[in-house]
Structure 1
Amino acid sequence: MKEKGRFLKKYRGNECLNCSVPLDIIDRYCHNCGQINTTKKLSFKDFFNEFFASIFSYDSRLRHTIVGLLFRPGMISKDYIEGKRVKYANPFRFFLSVSILFFIISGLFIDFDSIIPQEKEQNNGLLEINLTNNEHKENDIINDSIAEPGVDKEDEYVYFTETQLDTMSMFTAVNKRWKTYKSHYKKTGEPMATIALDSLKHEQNTYTKYLYKRSIKTKNLNENPLELLKFVFNKLPFIIFFFLPFFALMMWLLYIRKPFNYMEHLVFIFHTQTMFFILIGIAILIDQITKSEAASSIAMLVFLFYLYKAMRKFYQQRRAKTIVKFLLVNVLFFILAGIGSIITIIGSMFIF
């Protein structure tokens, strides 16, 4: 790799600045602690050059990795697990780098407003109705509704006292408390949990405050699901990163007779998923230029063919077996993705 910045020989010292071990001018790094041998003060340019180099590996490894992914499906993974690793970027770090770029590109060009236009129109209509209803309810007094506790109809004010909630089972109490808080916010529009709980004469603790805030969020998300969609989308890089190890476990079970351990399957998964992001990312850019969605459709077909070739070369099985397992992998992937999506959406409701 070409030397530049703090790596130049003229900046090398006679001892390590970190551990004081004697060094020679030919020593690029300290042989004791591994720190770079340089006396040059850290500049703004050096800092960001090294930062981006550490993320994207701006050297020959990047070129070899991209070429290997594009033109040698499955073989780059095979080389890596067989020990030929110097010329390739770390598959895990490279996956993170590509996925971050992909979600930046897709975040810039995906039009969320066009995904659920009907819901948006319906929500605008509901908002107008709610505003009209609120105008008529401005003079209502909350205590008039509280005078009849236990009402549990969708269009009426719902209120359960602490005494009533204490007599219920745990799950029933949570459900009724949730409805009470949601109904109270719908009627009063009070966003502050402490004020709302005081009006309701409910106990104020971490649990009740949290539940009141969640009920508000849920109501707002029902009126504007686009916000939840954007929130989940922004978390997808991390969700996918933690999802892939489960997919690798599925591959390990599918190829249990093959002499691959779990980590070797994971290397293959990270390489193929990285290729998916590269293909779809390029397709999104092409679609933006051509003002169509043809490139994305073609990219999906290309990736499916790529995945088949990668499985065939990496696992070294006959064509018929590979096709059967290829179909199984896709079915299992969609099942696993569906379960993961449900868990993600439910989890997002509690952290959004």
Structure 2
Amino acid sequence: MRALRKTKNCLNCHTPLDEVYNYCPLCGQQNDDKNVSFKELSRDLFENFFSFDSRLAHTFFPFFFKPGELTKKYNEGKRFTYANPIRLYIIVSFFYFFVLNSMMGDLTREFSQAFDTPEADSVKTAIQNEVEFNMDSIKNTPPIMVSLDGDSLAEGDENSWPLKNWQWKLLYEKLNDNSISEQALYDSLKIEDRGAITRLTIKQIIRIYKRDKETLVSEIVQNLSVMMFVLIPVFALLLKLMYARRKTLYVNHLIHTIHLHTFAFLVYGVAIVFVHWIFESEEVHEWIMMITVFTVFIYSFLSFKRVYNQSWKKTVLKYWISSWFYFYILVFAIVIELLISLLIF
């Protein structure tokens, strides 16, 4: 931590200050001169935010090679010696979601370019002809009647969801026409009398198809980072329930959870770099991903063993139960995040 650049007078209220004053006795403002050169400001920012000092060096070995040791030391009160877990998580998660976003953007561009080739155009034409044929077949088929509270409704009647056959056909034909705006295409479907959910669904289908896919993917990844940040306290609560008899404070489980996620993000981020930008062999990609998943799995298990110091049998059981619960929570959260991202895009 850098020393304060003290001034002779408070910069806020101009009260005279002695050298020993770290704060103004009148207004309480810190006695620190912020009017410094860009070089000094950059150095301070680098040192304060990234903690590029002895704490980072002390954090390195236990974080990578002694799973759970950093959590134990931090929860024991040895906090000034090691990097702040939240700051460490922010730095590593920024790296992980940056490379994830870059990879997804590259894949989206590659997919879009592949879809614009002559071969892809022929496939799209064949699909369109098949769809038109099926639409004509459906239109020429006698309506299917279903009974509903004594009334008879034909398939394709006003109560169908979200669109009738002719509306789907019109939507498919006009989606690729860039001269038609999103609003004009939406208005042509004549669904003003439909429910709010139906109108919102169709409007989002048009918007997603018409707009830049890279932007959509980028927003999904950004929302994913927020979702993971929200899930960390959830996993900590799960650990609190799993180890309820130990009377461990919730914040201690939270620190453990932050360290686990930080390690996982770092390993997965490095794996993405190797898979997407360095190695081209699919076989190498498979090996890298297998090693990555195995590394995170073993690291997390050993961290459980060291932090909670229970028998191997109890550790295996609780790790297995908490992992499966968290897996289902994670899948559910990802589905919700995708739906929300598509709705607000």
1:286 deviates by 4.4
| Whole-angstrom distance in 2 between the partners of 1:315 and 1:277 | 23
DSSP-derived class of the 1:175 partner:
coil
Structure 1 residues 69 and 174: CA distance shift in structure 2, 3 A: farther
| SS of the residue 1:247 aligns to | helix
Question: Aligned runs of 1:71-90 on 2, under 5 Å?
Answer: 71-90=65-84
1:185 aligns with 2:176: no
Counterpart of 1:56 in structure 2 is: 50
Q: CA deviation at 1:108?
A: 3.6
C-alpha displacement at 1:17, in angstroms?
1.8
Q: Does 1:298 align with 2:291?
A: yes
Residue 315 (structure 1) shift: 0.9
Q: Partner of 1:145 in structure 2?
A: none
> Structure 1 residues 267 and 39 mapped into 2: Cα distance closer, same or farther (>3 Å)?
closer
Alignment of 1:19-168 (within 5 A): 20=14, 22-27=16-21, 36-39=30-33, 41-109=35-103, 112=107, 127-129=124-126
Q: 1:277 aligned to 2:272? A: no
Amino acid in the other structure paired with 2:53: D
Shift of 1:21: 5.7
Counterpart for residue 148 of structure 2: none
| 1:248 is the counterpart of 2:236 | yes
Q: In the alignment, is residue 316 of structure 1 matched against residue 325 of structure 2?
A: no
| 8 Å contact from structure 1 (residues 194, 209) kept in 2 | no
Give the distance between the partners of 1:282 and 1:198, measured in 2 at CA: 49
- Partners in 1 of 2:37 and 2:215 — Cα distance? 40
CA gap 1:126/1:235 in 2 versus in 1, 3 angstroms: farther
Following superposition, the deviation at residue 284 of structure 1 comes to 3.6
For 2:19 and 2:43, locate their aligned partners in 1 and report how far apart those are by CA, in whole Å: 23
Pick from 199, 205, 210 the counterpart of residue 215 of structure 1. 205
Question: What is the aligned partner in structure 1 of residue 144 from structure 2?
Answer: none
Under a length normalisation based on structure 1, what TM-score does the superposition of the two structures give? 0.70
Aligned pair count reads 313
List alignment gaps of at least 5 residues for structure 2.
140-152
Q: CA RMSD in A?
A: 4.3
Aligned to 2:147: none
2: distance between equivalents of 1:284 and 1:329?
A: 26
Name which of structure 1's ranges 36-45 and 275-284 shifts more when overlaid on structure 2. Answer: 36-45
Structure 1 residue identity aligned to 2:325? L
Q: How does 1:167-206 map to 2 (within 5 A)?
A: 175-176=161-162, 184-189=170-175, 190-193=180-183, 196-197=186-187, 200=190, 202=192
Q: Is the Cα contact below 8 Å between 1:178 and 1:215 reproduced in 2?
A: no
- Cα offset for 1:345? 1.9
* Amino acid in the other structure paired with 2:330: A
Q: CA deviation at 1:192?
A: 3.7
Quick one: distance in 2 between partners of 1:204 and 1:175? 9
In terms of mean alpha carbon deviation, does 27-36 or 280-289 score higher?
27-36
Asked if 1 retains the 8 angstrom alpha-carbon contact of 2:191 and 2:199, the reply is no
Question: Cα 1:280–1:133, aligned 2, differ >3 Å: closer, same or farther?
Answer: closer
Deviations 1:271-304 (A, max 9, x none): 1110112222333444544543234432322222
CA distance, structure 1, for counterparts of residue 82 and residue 9 of structure 2: 32
Q: What's the counterpart of residue 235 of structure 1?
A: 223
Task: Provide Cα deviations, 1:177-223, integer angstroms capped at 9, x if missing partner.
Answer: 698876553344443426743783837999887555213135569xx
Q: 1:177 to 1:80 in 2, by over 3 A?
A: same
Compared CA separation, residues 296 and 200, structure 1 to 2 (3 A): closer
Q: 1:13 aligns with which of 7, 10, 16?
A: 7
CA 192–303 in structure 1, closer or farther in 2 if over 3 Å, else same: closer
Residues 105 and 215 of structure 1: is their aligned pair in 2 closer, same or farther, counting only changes over 3 Å? closer
TM-score, scaled to structure 2 = 0.71
CA distance in 1, matches of 2:193, 2:32: 62
After superposing the two structures, state which structure 1 stretch, 79-88 or 108-117, moved more: 108-117
Structure 1 residues 40, 261: closer, same or farther in 2, change over 3 A? Answer: closer
